[in-house]
Structure 1
Amino acid sequence: MILTPYTIALKTLVSSTRSKIDFQQLLKKQTLNLEQQEFVHDMRRRSKNRMAAQRCRKRKLDCIYSLECEINKLVRTPLFGLFQLKMKTWHTVSALCDKICSEASLMPEQLQVLAKYTTADCPFSSLIPRLDTALSGPTPSPQALASLPACPSDLAADEPYPIINL
């Protein structure tokens, strides 16, 4: 179809923002042949499709953006929470290890076993310098070692495990 001033005027009159009823009333006022009516309907349909596609693309980008924000929030929150929990647990275990080791007065053999199974990421690793100095200290006498039960279960239920001071 050849564009004439008449068809260009129709293009400006046909707006996809008009309601369907307004559009049909506007067409009734015009004297259009069948081909021109089809052309106007086609222009309106294409215009509406174009606007719908724009809205769809915008919705899609909005959804992508909101999902990215939610993913970032979900990734950061648990990691930060896990990091805080790890640090809190680390401090608690370290404090317990310090308390146990300070109150237990472990024997050099026990310290050696402890040092053997301690890794760098274990809270006991902070005790390694103390373990090394304790291991180089005096050893208990054979009489003191002989007085200890072989197993803590050999003690009476209310009897505390004896501690040997070096």
Structure 2
Amino acid sequence: MNAETPTLVSDFMQRLSATRRGARLARRLALHQLDAWGIPYGSDVSDTVAHVVAELAANAVTHGHVPGRNFQLRLQLSPHTVRIEVTDTRTERRPPTPGQAEPPSAESESGRGLLLVQELSQAWGITERSIGKTVWAEVPLPAAHLTGRPGLPAQGETATRPSRHLPHP
């Protein structure tokens, strides 16, 4: 195995209703899943992931909503990052790509979400799909999270854990 290839440790995926309630639930599920992976509530990583999930889920239900269709939250834990993916089914509205997001006017009450995602993540982007899109972001794990945590391998080790899927609400 190539040392440069990221090793997936754990994967979580959940479909949620494309409503404000679904967006709130996405954030709560993310916090719960991180805690189950050994990244405790209130830690810097947990708080950062919560903010990113909240912004991406809010965008999915506000700008990516298609009546009768859900959005999907996916979290992937690797030895060095937590990858967040939020997929919606709207094809005609595309968010700005990394580097294109510009701050709104000072009077504007919205338009700062992707700028926040950009600041909180080490990388983010958009993956086109045949129906809809996936907006993803990667939050780095500090070295303290890489050793001695349940569910996380020590640096240099690899591990695979099964997905934990929670029932659909």
Whether the TM-score (by the shorter chain) exceeds 0.5 is no
Q: Hey, which of these two has a bigger chunk of helix by percent?
A: 1
Greater relative contact order structure (CA < 8 Å, 6+ sep): 2
Q: Hey, which of these two has a bigger chunk of strand by percent?
A: 2
TM-score norm. by structure 2 comes to 0.22
Structure (1 or 2) with the larger CA radius of gyration:
1
TM-score norm. by structure 1 comes to 0.22
